[in-house]
Amino acid sequence: MKRETATLWIRNPLACSDDDAGGGVVIDGNRIVEKVPAGGRPSVPPDEVFDASQHVLLPGLINTHHHFYQTLTRAYSPALNKELFPWLVTLYDVWANLDEEQLSVASELAMAELLMSGCTTAADHHYIFSGALANAIDCQVEAAHKLGVRAALTRGSMSLGKEDGGLPPQAVVQDEQTILDDSQRLIDRYHQRGEGAEITVALAPCSPFSVSRELMRESARLAESSDVRLHTHLAETGDETEFCQRLFGMRPLDYLEDCGWLSGRTWLAHGIHFDDAEIQRLGSAGTGIAHCPSSNMVLGSGLCRTLELEAAGAPVGLAVDGSASADHSNLLQEMRQALLLGRLRYSPAEVTHQAVIRWATEGSARCLGRSDIGTLEPGSQADLALFRLDELRFSGAENPLAALLLCGASRADRVMVAGRWRILDGLPVDLDLEALMARHGQAAERLRRAL
């Protein structure tokens, strides 16, 4: 019988994050079917061979938290040099004017930037739903399909405006039934289940200071009945802790548990201000943490206790966060930040380049509830990132794998998603970057003019 797909051997990479795949991996269709040991050959001769001798091979990187729309407000002068709460207050009035055309181009640009950094799966937390932006998640699905990336899209929400003691303006607040009805619609229409899922949907009330307790609880019930995941910001700043104690009479994690969220179904953005006992509770529950080092530094939020969380059993993934707080969507650069920031809290022997690569691949996959991505194991999806070390910054590097982080790599040479090349020679396939940037720049200017 003739094979329907050709097998491809990614042969003899310069270095590989998996010691058992020193000779590369074999791809059949959208899956990895074999790891080849160093000096070895595939068990069955492949149909095609790609010489990876000049490339460092990693599983496709996985971003666990972002706000695609914020690419439109990078380095925005009125919001510079502020901590989280005043930063948000400044920008909410800008974001309230978002429309679908702006979100669409912002999502496309953010995912293209992530893809070029080696990211094959991108989670986004979108919670701005104004009158002109009713179908935000639908726009993002279309952009993900266009670029050929996997996307974990979260239906965010804000229901607690300034009039009710919350932080956001009333213009971006929705009533709870509207939020829940649209959440169900998106799950029914877009959420894919099982191995190889390209689009998944999660429920993501924005934060304790922007949604009601009832919406948190109802979101948890809907996630349970529909078998989807939950996501929110939590324990990002000391101000948030004070807010929760004042409004709810409890710390953020206690509030989360009270709302039915402390479980393995949940992953949290930031997770900085947890005490020792809370870290153990998170680990016991299997609740994941999306570590956002650049954003945590830009906003002065603090240092996430990554190693204690991981040791307790909480999955730790990596994230670029919003492009108005981190001001980039480059997951490879975020890995270097995670390495350097981690060494301010822990020893260099503990926060190694291997640990950070693990966070950006296996750890991130666990946060998203995925076992079919994030590794080079046979049976995993053929999501790969390959990097060349032929720039000045790498000259003299002895350890190619460590050089990716220590020497500051910023772009992948080739990226594969589900067995298809989506980046070739450092550029997205079938995408005019100059035209995209022109449209994006015009959208950003139009958004600023709307104030």
> What three-state secondary structure class fits 414?
strand
Give the pLDDT confidence score for residue 108 in this predicted structure.
Answer: 98
113 contacts: CB under 8 Å, gap ≥ 6: 71, 328, 329, 330
Coil vs helix vs strand at 363: helix
What pLDDT does 255 receive? 97
**Per-residue pLDDT at 1:** 41
pLDDT at 166: 81
Question: What is each CA distance from 72 to 95, 103, 104, 185, 368, in whole angstroms?
Answer: 9, 9, 11, 27, 26
- Tell me the pTM: 0.97
CATH architecture for residues 7-59+380-428: Roll (2.30)
Contact at 8 Å (CB) between 39 and 23?
Answer: yes
In angstroms, the CA 338 to CA 333 distance is 9
pLDDT beneath 50: ranges in the chain:
1-2
Query: From the DSSP assignment, how many helices (H) and strands (E) are in the chain?
Result: 15, 18
Please answer whether residues 130 and 122 qualify as being in contact, where contact means their C-beta atoms are separated by less than 8 angstroms.
no
CATH number of 61-367: 3.20.20.140
Q: How far is CA 63 from CA 75, 400, 431, 450, in A?
A: 21, 23, 21, 31
Domain extents in the chain: 7-59+380-428, 61-367
Enter the DSSP assignment of 360. Answer: I
What local confidence, expressed as pLDDT, does residue 328 receive? Answer: 93
Query: Residue 4 has what pLDDT?
Result: 64
CA 354 to chain CA centroid, Å, is 19
How many angstroms separate the Cα of 335 from the Cα of each of 43, 71, 117, 292? 34, 19, 11, 10
- Biggest CA–CA distance in the chain, Å, is 69
Report the pLDDT value the prediction gives residue 3, as an integer from 0 to 100: 56
Give me the count of residues in the chain.
451
Residues 6+ apart with CB under 8 A from 128: 69, 95, 96, 98, 136, 156, 158, 172
State both tokens at 387.
Answer: 């990097």
**33, β-bridge pairs:** none
Instruction: Calculate helix-pair angle for 100-116, 433-449, nearest 10 degrees.
Output: 140
